[in-house]
Amino acid sequence: MPDPSSDNLNEQLNTAKQVQPENVGALTRAQLTPEAATAPQGHDVPGHDHQGHDHGDEPEADHAGHSLDSGELDLASEAVADDHDHGPAGANPYLVPALSFALLVAGIALDYYKVGFFTGPVRLAWYGLAFVLVGWKVIKAAVLSIPSGNVFNEFLLMSLATLGAFAIGEYPEGVAVMLFYTVGELFQDAAVNRAKRSIRALLEIQATEVTVLRGGRSLVLDPKVVQVGDVLEIRPGEKVALDGTLNTAPASFNTAALTGESAPQTKQPGEAVLAGMINQESLVQVTVTAAFKDTKLSKILAMVQDAVGRKAKTQQFITHFAKVYTPIVVALAVLLIVVPYFVVDGYVFRDWLYRALVFLVISCPCALVISIPLGYFGGIGAASKAGILFKGSNFLDVLREIDTVVMDKTGTLTQGVFAVQQVQPVAGTEPAQLLRLVGALETKSTHPIAKAVVTHVGTAATGVPVENVEEIAGHGLRGNVAGRDVLAGNTKLLTKFSVAYPPEVDQVADSIVVAAIDGKYAGYLTVADAPKEDAARAIQELKADGITKLVMLSGDKDSITQRVAKELGLEEAHGGLLPEDKARYVQQYLSEGRKLAFVGDGVNDAPVVALADVGIAMGGLGSDATIETADVVIQTDHPSKIATARRIARATHRVVWQNIWLAFGVKAVVLILGAGGLATMWEAVFADVGVALLAILNAVRIQRMKF
């Protein structure tokens, strides 16, 4: 929300921070697909109505004073911990309100006991000090907002009501209104900062240090200070933090996040190694070619900053409602003073002015314009705790409405790494024997498929003697294992050594390791990408959650795709697809009137993510392009988080509407009582600040829910 103490209030009221296009998006639309290059910018696809996808509108300041614009979530700066200036640096923001409260309570006690000195100027000065402590920033904000044309805001309503109360001698009421308003602001700050901290904690799981070689020394540095031309040292299992080129011997990298394919890539010296790849084997060195500001972390930070600018429909409605509602109630307050003069016998100006001031306090829409954005903040914060990043509050609403989920296979529902799926020995050969001999031989290879076999075999191959190993490029291994001549590789290896094998072996869809023992075919192992542990549960939860259509689309072989689909309980799956094929399927589902979410991770998924009502990216190892195109990012790469995100979206929707009905209901009752002279300024304080505090507490409750 705007900071009343800021000297550039008008700029705050009218300008929301925007992420510049040049800072976001690893790929242009033309680089994704030809169709995307000619499609409208953003998510606006012909024939496809995007409720909630409002990426182009600049966030408006909703004033009645509370904007909660994108500046409220400036996580790229250390200043995010406290956007509001509540006093000197390090000062307790509750100190000044506490002092004002003490003066108010003491003044009320002095009034009650009719202490002799507490009259006239002394009484005015006492309450005046209590008022100024908490009210001067609000009055200043009301004055500074006038030149921009933003006259009818919450600051003006509060200023008119409290100064009017002082004008008619109702000092305690005037102080109470401003004091409890300030306390409400502090509650809001605490709630917003809680949401910020949750989101910031999510982002901090990204790499925070890299090993850099400089002057013959190995330095551990923050990636932000690494320069183009520096040399990184990357250990096996570590993620590449910055883009660069490989300096050392050929090395294998897991590139599933960038290519959508489960098979690792072997990079040669001088070839590009991109941020997000994972070093599979030996220690490597990479020369940096891109600064930290161009990496995934910086771009996600920028997207989080931009997130709150994308308002939900409910939030947009309240924004526009407040702008119309506020001047109307000001006009009604004026009429409440003027009209009775002509129609009421014994008209007393002071009485009707007091009623009008009560009316103004009650009419402040702060319970709505604070608690509704805060409700969405709470939802975004709760999601971040669960490892889910919503890029805008509007996507909470849209995700709640979807009825169709379309998912990629590799890296989304599967692990994106090789694992042994099947062991098929020939008759007369025990599976354990085949695994023992092949596993022992494969320990002499650094190939990812060989590592998958060794991992599967485990300790069974430990201590088995292996001699005279020969690695035949593009074929496999030959060696003497426990005194027996063993071949392990692809079918070309068996052909090379004239070993006959059944023709059906050539029809196996998965990657395959065939074996021969002492010159005879001994069987094969299939090596494939295994489903994630929670993939089947994710499908079950989505079905139970009301998703009527679940589809898997994959660029992998159709036979593999169908096998995985059957294993996970999916009724519809399509394999062997190019990115444009996936886009065609999604367009078909959208043309049927479905509300669709697409879940993917590779750069090849980015065009389809852009087409969906809600694009969901796997962010742990997902490609930059897909993460930036997506509306929701699952940082933990668990597909079961999709159902969790839906539960959070529904809870947020419930809380937001609870706040709306609470605010409208209480205000309607007290407004009528105030106009009839049956409600005092104290009831007005409850109707305004009290309801706002209740709504804030209700909104904060989202972050305490278990999902």
* Active site residue ranges: 408
Q: Which of 637, 693, 623, 650 is CA-nearest to residue 545?
A: 650
What torsion do the CA atoms of 631, 632, 637, 638 make, to the nearest 10 degrees? -130
State the DSSP H helix or E strand holding residue 408, giving kind and residue range, or none if neither: strand 404-408
Report how far apart, in Å, the C-alpha atoms of 82 and of each of 92, 379, 573 are: 12, 20, 49
Cβ atoms of 437 and 625 within 8 Å: the answer is: no
- Rounded-to-integer distance, Cα 243 and Cα 34, Å: 26
- Rounded-to-integer distance, Cα 125 and Cα 475, Å: 93
| Residue located via tokens 């409440």 | 336
Q: Is the dihedral of CA 691, 695, 696, 697 positive or negative?
A: positive
- Rounded-to-integer distance, Cα 482 and Cα 466, Å: 6
DSSP 252-275: EEE-HHHHS-SS-EEEPTTSEE-T
DSSP 609-630: HHHSSEEEEE-SS--HHHHHH-
Report how far apart, in Å, the C-alpha atoms of 590 and of each of 42, 319, 478, 628 are: 17, 30, 53, 22
Q: With helix as H, strand as E and coil as C, how does 208-235 read?
A: CCEEEEECCEEEEECHHHCCCCCEEEEC
Length of the chain: 707
- Rounded-to-integer distance, Cα 211 and Cα 289, Å: 15
Q: Is 369 helix (H, G, I), strand (E, B) or coil?
A: helix
State the burial class of residue 246 (Cβ atoms within 10 Å of its Cβ: 0-12, 13-18, 19+): buried
Cβ atoms of 280 and 264 within 8 Å: the answer is: yes
